[in-house]
């Protein structure tokens, strides 16, 4: 058919390679292979012989090889190559196509960045789309001289400003990317439910909030502080301005209220939930194809393909609603579990990468379609409470606070108590929980703290509400605790010794920054200000031997406790609950044995897999063992600990004394006593432990620790 001038094979699902014989159609002016499954390279016969082409569309195919130069197609006016499958970069020879009025190239394969293509000679260019083409550098100044009306340069690596476009007087629409905006949060949420494109719907006990904004080519919607969406994209080749799809059929699926409407976007649509408590969540996405039909007409031939990103990571590639649901008007629910929220925000992005059909049932029908979204915390219900000992409140200015009630056993009067709290509240450090003040009413003593969203380190590491703490976060937490203690020991006027450093007394804020709590409280009930304490305030498994047995208190007792906590951070295990077998009484015991065997890396939490810095893990473990030296004089200062953890100071060799660390009975007496305590009733344990809010022991240390423990 050598006289053929127009060939349109769009949306026929042809596969295989393009026949070389098409190169004989030398009079061809219009050539459209959009939305098929063609593979391989374009035959050289087409590239060399079809010199009369005016319009070429090769989008949504699976071609291979480098993007051709098309240098023989000098009469070309429109070139469309959206998601064609070709590899980048855009060849510089494209500058020979000086008659182009419209150029659309998107989603090039290959990750090699390239400079902006030389288009300055295309003085007739009106529509330019170079999306996801790995273009780097700045926007060239000549773009302002072209008669552009539409411009899409989104999802590249461009930098700099857009001042060159100020001269483009005819430019009516341009797209660079989408952005999300933040607004202040008050408190934490644990779920978000959205009926995308529809009104409020209640299904069972779950209410899906309304999302009825009409949408636009570039819109940011944020009606409430804790969720919103950002949409970008314009329906090319179409006058379609509908960004909400409506189903006019009779739905027979479950929860049909969620599928009468859906949010639609021609390019990118991002929903985000904010003000979420950090932790793991399950993201549930509800889909139904409500535009395509399943009858015998061409309306059934549409294919909708788009990508789904969760937290900026590709979760599903080329997702096809109709294919996944096995038909139209059928629900398809996708669940993604263990989605980590670390900055109070979850982002769910639907991106059209140029694939699928775009003319069925009408031109401009394509892009992602979403019916409803649920984001639900996988944490236990009790995780929503800041802590058992705390209640959450709000000040008049909206600040969220935590209120803690103390025992009224202090021998001090209310005035002395307030004065003491005043001095403690004056201590401010990034790694100390801020004590705002107190309330005193007769024998009721209340402390007012800053609100800590992520509860305690103990709960995050090995409690019922564990968080996904990667290695950099664990190292940052450990260094933060060390800095807080160093401040208490060396920089504060009060020279406070905490006495009860443990995982439950280290709280985590919304960004997982560690803050030491309850510092200075034990001092409120002291009779004398001496280094000998007649009342032991501490917890079994964390107290230094010299303090537990003889009441000898210095800041070196805190350093011992810190060492135990550091081991817990490395191992992800509770020191006093780790009993791998009868030979080990606690985590510290196991660590000492591993050190003797030369396999300290076995201590690292298996949940980290191989994704951790082995050098940093070894350094932290050695510092922890150095801090738990049985001799207070051989423990480092907290300022030295900070320097060692940061790698600024070398770690002195640990004392390797077989008599100290090699005795098979090193913790036997303590283990037996611990087992005895575990067998006692809760009433008996309560009689031993003084629940003043500090978790301290009012029983004589000699009753809790065997006398020969000091031989450690």
Provide DSSP, 400-448. Answer: EEEEEEEPS--SS-HHHHHHHHHHHHT---TTB--EEEEEEETTEEEEE
Separation between Cα atoms, residue 16 and residue 53, nearest integer Å: 23
DSSP three-state, residue 309: strand
Q: How far is CA 330 from the centre of its chain?
A: 32
Tokens of 535: 């009342």
| Residue with tokens 């021609």, as numbered in its chain | 266
DSSP H or E run through 228? strand 227-232
189, 276 in Cβ contact below 8 A? yes
Handedness of CA 577, 581, 582, 586 (dihedral sign): negative
End-to-end CA distance of the chain: 97
Handedness of CA 171, 176, 178, 179 (dihedral sign): negative
Q: Write the burial class of residue 316 (CB in 10 Å: 0-12 exposed, 13-18 middle, 19+ buried).
A: middle
Residue 550 has phi, psi (to 5 degrees) of -115, 0
Q: Write the burial class of residue 111 (CB in 10 Å: 0-12 exposed, 13-18 middle, 19+ buried).
A: exposed
Instruction: Count CA atoms within 13 Å of residue 273 on its CB side.
Output: 28
How many Cβ atoms from other residues are within 10 Å of residue 140's Cβ?
Answer: 15
* Alpha-carbon dihedral angle through residues 358, 107, 283, 386, given to the nearest 10 degrees: -140
356, 301 in Cβ contact below 8 A? no
DSSP H or E run through 626? helix 614-627
Separation between Cα atoms, residue 314 and residue 159, nearest integer Å: 24
Alpha-carbon distances, residue 264 vs 215, 268, 312, 347 (angstroms): 9, 9, 20, 17
Provide DSSP, 539-559. Answer: -TTTS-HHHHHH-B--HHHHH
Tokens of 472: 């950099």
Q: Among residues 152, 211, 500, 589, which one is catalytic?
A: 500
How many Cβ atoms from other residues are within 10 Å of residue 258's Cβ?
Answer: 23
Separation between Cα atoms, residue 470 and residue 609, nearest integer Å: 10
Alpha-carbon distances, residue 92 vs 107, 121, 159, 368 (angstroms): 18, 12, 21, 33
Query: What residues contact residue 158 under an 8 Å CB cut-off, 6+ apart?
Result: 135, 136, 137, 138, 139, 176
Query: What residues contact residue 390 under an 8 Å CB cut-off, 6+ apart?
Result: 402, 403, 404, 449
Q: Which of 309, 392, 307, 399 is nearest to 354 (CA)?
A: 307
Q: How far is CA 408 from the centre of its chain?
A: 43
Biggest CA pair distance of the chain: 108
* Alpha-carbon dihedral angle through residues 412, 413, 418, 424, given to the nearest 10 degrees: -10
312 labelled catalytic: no
So which residues are the catalytic ones?
500
């Amino acid at each position: 058919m050598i006289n053929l001038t127009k060939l349109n094979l769009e949306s026929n699902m042809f596969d295989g390679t393009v026949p070389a014989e098409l190169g004989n159609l030398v009079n061809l002016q219009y050539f459209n292979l959009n939305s098929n499954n063609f593979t391989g390279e374009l035959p050289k016969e087409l590239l060399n012989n079809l010199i009369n082409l005016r319009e070429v569309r090769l989008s949504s195919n699976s071609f291979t090889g480098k993007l051709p130069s098309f240098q023989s197609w000098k009469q070309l006016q429109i070139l469309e190559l959206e998601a064609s499958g070709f590899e980048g970069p855009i060849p510089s020879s494209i500058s020979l196509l000086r008659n182009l009025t419209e150029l659309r190239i998107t989603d090039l394969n290959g990750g090699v960045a390239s400079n902006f293509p030389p288009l300055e000679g295309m003085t007739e260019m009106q529509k330019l789309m170079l999306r996801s083409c790995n273009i780097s550098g700045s926007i060239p100044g000549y773009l302002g001289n072209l008669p552009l009306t539409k411009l899409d340069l989104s999802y590249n690596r461009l930098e700099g400003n857009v001042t060159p476009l100020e001269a483009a007087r005819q430019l009516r629409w341009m797209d660079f990317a989408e952005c999300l905006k933040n607004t202040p949060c008050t408190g934490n949420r644990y779920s978000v439910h959205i009926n995308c494109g529809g009104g409020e719907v209640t299904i069972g006990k779950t209410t899906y909030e309304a999302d009825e904004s009409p949408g636009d080519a570039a819109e940011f919607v944020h009606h409430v502080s804790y969720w919103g969406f950002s949409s970008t994209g314009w329906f090319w080749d179409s006058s379609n301005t509908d960004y909400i799809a409506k189903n006019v059929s009779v739905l027979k699926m479950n929860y049909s209220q969620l599928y009468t409407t859906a949010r639609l976007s021609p390019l990118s649509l991002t929903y985000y939930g904010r003000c979420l408590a950090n932790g793991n969540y399950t993201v549930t996405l509800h889909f139904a194809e409500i535009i395509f039909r399943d009858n015998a007409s061409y309306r059934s031939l549409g294919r909708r393909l788009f990508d789904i990103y969760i937290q900026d990571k590709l979760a599903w590639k080329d997702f096809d609603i109709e294919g996944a649901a096995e038909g139209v008007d059928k629900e398809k629910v996708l669940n993604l579990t263990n989605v980590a929220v670390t900055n109070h925000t979850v982002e769910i992005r639907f991106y059209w990468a140029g694939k699928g059909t775009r003319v069925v049932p009408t031109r401009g029908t394509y892009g992602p379609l979403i019916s409803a979204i649920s984001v639900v915390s996988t944490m236990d219900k009790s995780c929503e409470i800041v802590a058992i000992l705390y209640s959450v409140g709000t000040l008049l200015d909206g600040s969220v606070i935590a209120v803690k009630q103390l025992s009224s056993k202090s021998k001090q009067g209310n005035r002395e108590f307030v004065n003491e709290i005043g001095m403690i509240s004056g201590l401010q450090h990034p790694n100390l929980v801020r004590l705002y003040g107190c309330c005193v009413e007769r024998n009721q003593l209340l402390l007012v703290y800053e609100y800590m969203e992520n509860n305690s380190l103990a709960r995050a590491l090995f409690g019922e509400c564990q968080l996904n703490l990667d290695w950099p976060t664990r190292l940052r937490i450990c260094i933060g605790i060390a800095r807080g203690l160093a401040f208490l020991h060396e920089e504060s006027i009060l020279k406070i010794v905490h006495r009860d450093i443990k995982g439950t007394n280290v709280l985590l804020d919304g960004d997982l920054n560690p803050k030491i709590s309850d510092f200075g409280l034990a001092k409120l009930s002291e009779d004398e200000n001496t280094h000998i304490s007649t009342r032991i305030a501490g917890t079994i498994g964390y107290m230094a031997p010299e303090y537990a047995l003889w009441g000898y208190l210095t800041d070196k007792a805190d350093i011992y406790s810190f060492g135990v906590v550091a081991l817990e951070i490395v191992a992800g295990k509770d020191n006093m609950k780790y009993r791998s077998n009868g030979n080990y009484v606690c985590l510290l015991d196991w660590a000492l044995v591993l050190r003797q065997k030369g396999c300290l890396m076995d201590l690292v939490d298996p949940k980290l897999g191989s994704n951790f810095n082995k050098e940093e893990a070894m350094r932290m473990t050695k510092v922890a063992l150095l801090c738990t030296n049985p001799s207070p004089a051989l423990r480092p200062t907290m300022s030295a600990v900070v320097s060692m953890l940061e790698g600024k100071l070398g770690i002195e060799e640990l004392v390797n004394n077989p008599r100290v660390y090699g005795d098979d009975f090193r913790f036997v007496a303590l283990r037996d006593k611990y087992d005895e305590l575990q067998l006692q009733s809760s009433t008996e344990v309560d009689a031993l432990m003084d629940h003043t809010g500090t978790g301290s022991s009012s029983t004589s240390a000699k009753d809790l620790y065997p006398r020969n423990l000091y031989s450690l």
